[in-house]
Amino acid sequence: MLVVYLVIVMFWKSDRDNLDSPGFYSSMSDWYNTPLGESLLHSEQALLEEYLPRYFGYHLLQIGCANLPIFNNSPVGHKFSLTHDTKSREHGLVAKGEAIPLISESVDLVVLHHALDFSAFQHQLLREVSRVLIAGGSVVIIGFNPISSWGIRTGFPGPKKHPWQGKLLSINRVTDWLKLLDFQVEQVRYGAYALPINSPRVIRYSGMLDKIATRLNWPTGGAYMITAKKQVLPLTPIQTSWRGLASAHVGMPIAENITRVSRDIPSANNEE
């Protein structure tokens, strides 16, 4: 039994897909057109509507898992997205999230749309986000909640299709990483309480309490949204204790002056 279990786990891990896999973005984009994908997107956009319209800035960067912009409600002037897919024409930047080709402190807001779930280098991705964000900038993280019916389905061993191939992180793990990178976590919101079954009837009946659960922010939602702000480290001025310099007009003691002058004046005997 142990050998069978190890074989299943090895096969399961080898079958995992990530953002670098060919065709990943197109597969996830097609999945978002299914009834289950549309239901999830609707819940995620409802969470974003609580935050994005209230955040202003100059540049917004989205790093996502599909050819799907989710920042339309943002008032930020310049909005663009990043993808690994070289064939995609719907993104403004083709690069890896773990090596963002932008200068440091150049972006006001970063939106991670399931990018952490499918990244092969999750911690490095957050490091890059911290690097490109300005001081006081914010990050919005959308991910699958492992403590939910969605997380349980993702944890089943065996071959899986999108989106059940992610490596889900707990809320505590993500918030701990953010704090290590000097982020201040502002809020954690949950959504998508319908069962992860691709059937309109099941989605409709299992999501009847979706609005109430979202309002109460039950931690069993299939998706979560974390918002965090990059802290500005205060600069403590170093107070140097200056020693008082001796004034140039301060003369020598009188006794020393008289002695030195008397030595310098030639005696009468010497003149003769």
**Which pLDDT value is given to residue 97?**
86
**Which pLDDT value is given to residue 7?**
35
* 87-107 residue pLDDT tens: 666 667 888 888 999 999 999
Please tell me whether the overall predicted TM-score, pTM, comes out greater than 0.85 for this model. Answer: no
* 184-240 residue pLDDT tens: 999 999 999 999 999 999 999 988 888 899 889 999 999 999 999 999 766 555 665
| Residue-wise burial string across 145-183, b where 16 or more C-beta atoms lie within 10 A, e elsewhere | bbebbbbebbeeeeebebbbbbbbbebeebbebbeebeb
Helix (H, G, I), strand (E, B) or coil at 9: helix
**Which pLDDT value is given to residue 187?**
95
**Which pLDDT value is given to residue 110?**
97
Check residue 244 and report its DSSP letter. Answer: P
CATH no. of 2-230: 3.40.50.150
> Which residue positions in the chain have pLDDT lower than 50?
1-14, 258, 261, 268, 271-272
**Which pLDDT value is given to residue 4?**
36
**Which pLDDT value is given to residue 232?**
77
Task: Give me 232's structure tokens.
Answer: 């500005």
